[in-house]
């Protein structure tokens, strides 16, 4: 029989820089005081969040990947979780969802999977397999209402198995003074096409025309870095654009920004937006995913209708020049985050879920996996 305090095993692709990785670190660190929490990493990439987890008393097991297709990782993962007497398995990203499901079923343990956007990015056979596993999981956590709707309506996951888990936002320290003569417009995230950092760059010449001292800071790394640098040169704004590369913790940079821009094609609820709002920094956002639930136009930021250069530029200029908006963002943003995205809010969701699942040995935890892979 499982104990009243279940041991939860989180499975994730890596513990490098990323919103999902940071959320796992915050969740596991919060849970370690009340459950036997462990983290299993399907690679040897554990910086920066592996250090933070170990410092907080969370055991971290990494697994060297011997090739792109390494089935031995599943065997090693299953053995490690069996030896650690894990009661509930929780996958945290697309690839780790698959490993978590298969290892949990081999151990006959309940499994929780995750969706951290409003869509699935995997295509082809891998996408079909992941959809099938999501339907068979004992629960699926999402961080947005948009993600919940996608799972229920498009993937056909039973509604009562989808659990809304609010992101955790660490308390913000006092914001540093900002230079109104050279305000920094920020973009934070992985430099990939769907984030539309190119749209922000194309809007920036218009921003500079209206606010001559403005600078643009792009925080992150990714496959679009070279193309974005070339675009900055083409637009003749290179001298006012700073590409920082990946940073371990972007919150200090965000606190010094005048606004942060999200022009993505789709999102769930980006952690960077919450962290900006928590620091009283207005967010300029296209209304995708759950961004409209936190970006209240005129209060915590500016909602723009599209990611066109003209519309984006107008929204950014408003965020830079509307003093009343900026004062409201400094008051309303931190309050909103404290009330809805605290450690306590996340634990109120997760602890009852894990305790309920750890007591179950029902049919859902004993299904064979062979039919799943054939769908």
Q: Which CATH superfamily is domain 184-340 in?
A: Glycogen Phosphorylase B; (3.40.50.2000)
pLDDT at 371 over 60: no
Average pLDDT for 75-84: 96
Taking all residues of the chain, what is their mean pLDDT, rounded to a whole number?
90
Q: Order of strands, edge to edge, in the sheet holding 241-245? A: 241-245, 215-219, 184-188, 259-262, 283-285, 301-303
Return d(Cα 230, Cα 48) in angstroms, integer: 30
How far apart, in Å, are the Cα atoms of 334 and each of 25, 32, 155? Answer: 22, 26, 35
Please write the tens of the pLDDT for every residue from 158-181.
999 999 999 999 877 656 666 677
Write down the pLDDT at residue 176.
Answer: 61
Residues in Cβ contact with 333 at an 8 Å cutoff, skipping those fewer than 6 apart? 276, 277, 278, 279, 280, 281, 282, 300
Sorting pLDDT into bands at 50, 70 and 90, what band is 205?
Answer: very high
Return d(Cα 249, Cα 50) in angstroms, integer: 14
Task: Tokens for 124, please give them.
Answer: 């082809």
**Of 3-17, 122-136, 232-246, where does the model show the most confidence?**
232-246
Average pLDDT for 172-193: 81
Complete DSSP assignment for 13-30: S--SSSHHHHHHHHHHHH
Average pLDDT for 70-85: 93
Which residue shows structure tokens 């869509």?
119
Please write the tens of the pLDDT for every residue from 86-96.
999 999 988 89
pLDDT at 196 over 60: yes
Which among 13, 6, 192 is positioned nearest to 89, based on CA atoms? Answer: 6
Average pLDDT for 15-37: 91
Measured in degrees and rounded to the nearest 5, phi and psi for residue 329 equal -60, -40
- Contact of 133 with 115, CB cutoff 8 Å: no
Which among 182, 207, 170, 192 is positioned nearest to 334, based on CA atoms? Answer: 170
CATH 3.40.50.2000 in the chain: give the residue spans: 7-168+342-370, 184-340
Percent of residues in the chain assigned helix, strand, coil, to nearest 5: 45, 15, 40
Question: How much of the chain exceeds pLDDT 90, in percent?
Answer: 77
Please write the tens of the pLDDT for every residue from 265-291.
988 889 899 999 999 999 999 999 899
Write down the pLDDT at residue 310.
Answer: 96
Of 99-108, 235-244, 245-254, which range is least confident? 245-254
Write down the pLDDT at residue 170.
Answer: 81
Write down the pLDDT at residue 249.
Answer: 83
pLDDT at 215 over 50: yes
Please write the tens of the pLDDT for every residue from 101-132.
999 999 999 999 999 877 776 678 888 999 99
Element (H, E) at 130: helix 124-136
- Contact of 10 with 30, CB cutoff 8 Å: no
pLDDT at 364 over 80: no
pLDDT at 369 over 80: no
pLDDT at 38 over 80: yes
Return d(Cα 281, Cα 319) in angstroms, integer: 9
Residues in Cβ contact with 339 at an 8 Å cutoff, skipping those fewer than 6 apart? none
pLDDT at 329 over 60: yes
Return d(Cα 214, Cα 306) in angstroms, integer: 22
Measured in degrees and rounded to the nearest 5, phi and psi for residue 79 equal -65, -40
Question: What three-state secondary structure class fits 319?
Answer: helix
Phi-psi map region of 89: left, alpha, beta (phi>0 left; psi -120 to 50 alpha): beta
Write down the pLDDT at residue 168.
Answer: 93
Go through 21-46 and write b for each residue having 16 or more CB atoms within 10 A of its CB, e for each that does not.
bbbbbbbbbbbbeebbbbbbbbbebb
CB neighbourhood size of 1 (10 A): 6
Question: What three-state secondary structure class fits 247?
Answer: coil
pTM of the full predicted structure? Answer: 0.82
Instruction: Evaluate whether the domain defined by 7-168+342-370 bears CATH number 3.30.980.10.
Output: no
Write down the pLDDT at residue 181.
Answer: 75
Write down the pLDDT at residue 185.
Answer: 97
């Amino acid at each position: 029989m499982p104990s009243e305090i279940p041991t939860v095993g989180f499975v994730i692709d890596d513990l490098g820089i990323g919103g999902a990785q940071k959320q796992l670190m915050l969740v596991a660190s919060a849970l370690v005081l009340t459950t036997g929490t462990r983290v299993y990493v399907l690679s040897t990439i554990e910086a920066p969040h592996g250090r933070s987890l170990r410092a907080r008393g969370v055991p971290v097991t990494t697994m060297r990947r011997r090739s792109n297709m390494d089935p031995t990782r599943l065997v090693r993962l299953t053995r490690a979780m069996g030896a650690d007497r894990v009661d509930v398995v929780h996958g945290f990203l697309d690839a780790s969802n698959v490993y978590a499901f298969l290892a949990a079923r081999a151990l006959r343990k309940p499994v929780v999977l995750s969706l951290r956007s409003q869509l699935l990015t995997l295509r082809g056979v891998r996408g079909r397999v992941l959809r099938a596993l999501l339907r068979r999981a004992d629960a699926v956590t999402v961080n947005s209402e948009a993600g919940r709707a996608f799972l229920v309506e498009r993937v056909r996951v039973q509604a009562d198995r989808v659990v809304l888990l609010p992101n955790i936002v660490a308390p913000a320290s006092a914001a540093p003074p900002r230079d109104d003569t050279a305000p920094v417009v920020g973009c934070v995230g992985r430099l990939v096409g769907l984030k539309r950092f190119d749209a922000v760059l194309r809007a920036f010449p218009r921003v500079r025309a209206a606010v001559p001292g403005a600078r643009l800071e792009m925080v992150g790394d990714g496959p679009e870095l070279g193309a974005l640098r070339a675009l900055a040169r083409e637009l003749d704004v290179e001298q006012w654009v700073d590409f920082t590369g990946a940073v371990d913790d972007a919150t200090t940079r965000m606190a010094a920004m005048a606004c942060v821009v999200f022009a993505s094609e789709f999102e769930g609820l980006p952690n960077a937006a919450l962290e900006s709002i928590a620091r009283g920094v207005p967010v300029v956002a296209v209304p995708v995913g759950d961004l409209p639930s936190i970006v209240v136009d005129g209060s915590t930021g500016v909602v723009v209708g599209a990611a066109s250069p003209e519309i984006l530029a107008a929204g950014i200029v408003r965020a830079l020049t509307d003093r009343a908006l900026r004062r409201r963002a400094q008051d309303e943003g931190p309050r909103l985050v404290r009330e809805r995205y605290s450690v306590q809010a996340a634990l109120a969701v997760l602890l009852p879920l894990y305790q309920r699942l750890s007591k179950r040995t029902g049919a859902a935890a004993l299904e064979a996996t062979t039919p799943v892979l054939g769908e």
